[in-house]
Amino acid sequence: MKIKLNLEFSPPFNEVTKNLFETLEFDKELTLDELIDFFGQKYGTKFIDLIWENGEKGKFNKLLSIIINGRSYRDDNFLETKLKDEDQIVFIYVYFGG
């Protein structure tokens, strides 16, 4: 079963991907963890370093927010979230300050 994912890369991700938006097709459903691994292979360590704290898988960067269909969450099973056809996924850093 093919799925199509609609992706948005906000700064600083777009500096690595060279795109703000991308639509990708996969031959099967996949999890968020598998998608992150795919991007690690496609874009290399610069992308991975934006996801994981100190490049250490399993510990998200504190600034990172991944939004799936308008919902941002980080429960224990977040990486196992199954992605579905036409999902909207946003990779963004959330900065605070004055």
Beta bridge partners of 4: 25
Judged by average pLDDT, the poorest of 4-8, 27-31, 57-61, 75-79 is 75-79
| Rounded Cα–Cα distance for residues 61 and 1 (Å) | 32
Asked if residues 83 and 31 have their Cβ atoms less than 8 Å apart, the reply is: yes
* Confidence band of 97 (pLDDT split at 50, 70, 90): low
- The listed CATH number (3.40.1180.10, 3.10.20.30, 3.60.15.10, 3.40.50.620) that belongs to domain 3-93: 3.10.20.30
C-alpha radius of gyration, the chain, whole number: 13
List the chain domain ranges: 3-93
- pLDDT > 70: percent of the chain: 97
Give per-residue pLDDT as tens, 26-69: 999 999 999 999 999 999 999 999 999 987 887 889 899 999 99
Q: Is 86 helix (H, G, I), strand (E, B) or coil?
A: coil
Q: Which positions ≥6 away from 28 have C-beta within 8 Å?
A: 1, 2, 3
**Does the predicted TM-score (pTM) go above 0.85?**
yes
